[in-house]
Amino acid sequence: MRLDWKSFVHLTYQLLLIASLASIITTAWGQAPVNTPVNIYGDGVPENGIEDSREQLMGRHDSGNGFSTRSLNAGTIKCDGKIRGTAMVLDTRELEPGLDGVVLASAAHVFYDLDRKRLFKRCEFHFLALGELAGYRAKIDLKKTRFGSYNPAAALAGLEFGQGDWVYFYLARPWKNFNPEQSIVPRDFNFLEMEELESAGGEFRLVAFDSTAQVISISRNCRVVESRGDDLGGGAWQGQLLDDCDSAGGASGGGLVAAVGNREYLVGIRSGSHWSEEYFPASQHPLGPPDGSVWNPSTNTNFGRAIDADLLRELNDFVQQLMSANSRL
């Protein structure tokens, strides 16, 4: 994809706060998602209000003594004291039913201090963002991870950085009341055709942290396309998915889910957003398009990494590595 002076591409990670400008690509960065602008798509008419389709993933029992999920095991990643993004708990029983503990998927950049270009020193997983409650958080061993080719020092170099923006990590002990039936099975994005999904009454969803409400939310009925040469992703790498799922800061690492019948599959990992300065000049929109803006892959869109044969192979290798290491204990 060629960029001219009237069409700069903005790449933004959704858990970040500070806007920085490069000569060709403008990227919004930061270290905590709380004040990051919400990427809520609409019809572009402010008078109609903000068309936010997100629903809360969890809710209290009537007794008030516990929590119940509406569908999936998911949570937040907190590193060096701040929430950095989202992670999805994977159902790996088809690969290795005897694995103790759980494997999770997220975006690689969530684990990096982007100012210092290094991994954070300490990270935790908080089930359903309930880290303040005992029994719902677990320390992440950064030595038991499988990172993609993401390079924080080269993250601003071009559109290709999202291709390696994925990570698998392992928790030896699940949290309190863990239910493996609510973990999600990863599937190759190409396992279904868009027409098949629609004809079966299915839909795409995003499960991710909502920094506005401080909960894990679901954005339903998302539109998803694979990047081509004439959109903001530029078709820079195979498996770059563009979507209009409503989301907020902390959504990085969230799960793009294909819901087919009564089954849900993880088919992508959220990375960030693109937008065009021709339509959203930095002088007027320093933090990106305003709430309710129209989704258009050529001017304003989210993007992520599709689950494909390569990521499934990496997952299988990681699980077998964990099994081998655990057998030696």
Q: Establish if 74 belongs to a structural domain.
A: yes
Band of residue 192 on the pLDDT scale cut at 50, 70, 90? low
Kindly list the distances between the CA atom of residue 144 and the CA atoms of 169, 299, 318, 323, in Å, as whole numbers in the listed order. 6, 39, 9, 12
Q: Which residues pair with 232 in a beta bridge?
A: none
The owner of tokens 């009454």 is 201
Give me the number of domains the chain comprises: 1
Q: Please give the Cα distance from 57 to 217 (Å, whole number).
A: 5
Would residue 165 count as lying in a domain? yes
For 287-314, the pLDDT digits (tens) are: 888 888 999 999 999 999 999 999 999 9
Residue at 63 is within a domain: no
Task: State which residues form the domain around 237.
Answer: 9-58+70-327
Given a contact cutoff of 8 angstroms between Cβ atoms, the answer to whether 55 and 218 are in contact is yes
Give Dmax over CA atoms of the chain in angstroms: 63
pLDDT tens by residue, 30-65: 222 222 344 788 888 767 776 777 888 764 333 343
Do residues 266 and 88 lie in contact, with contact meaning Cβ atoms separated by under 8 Å? yes
Pairing of strands 145-147, 167-171: antiparallel
pLDDT band at 286; cut points 50, 70, 90? confident
Does residue 116 lie within any of the structural domains? yes
d(C-alpha 44, C-alpha 36), whole Å: 20
Give me the pLDDT at residue 195, please: 63
Assess if residue 1 is contained within a domain: no
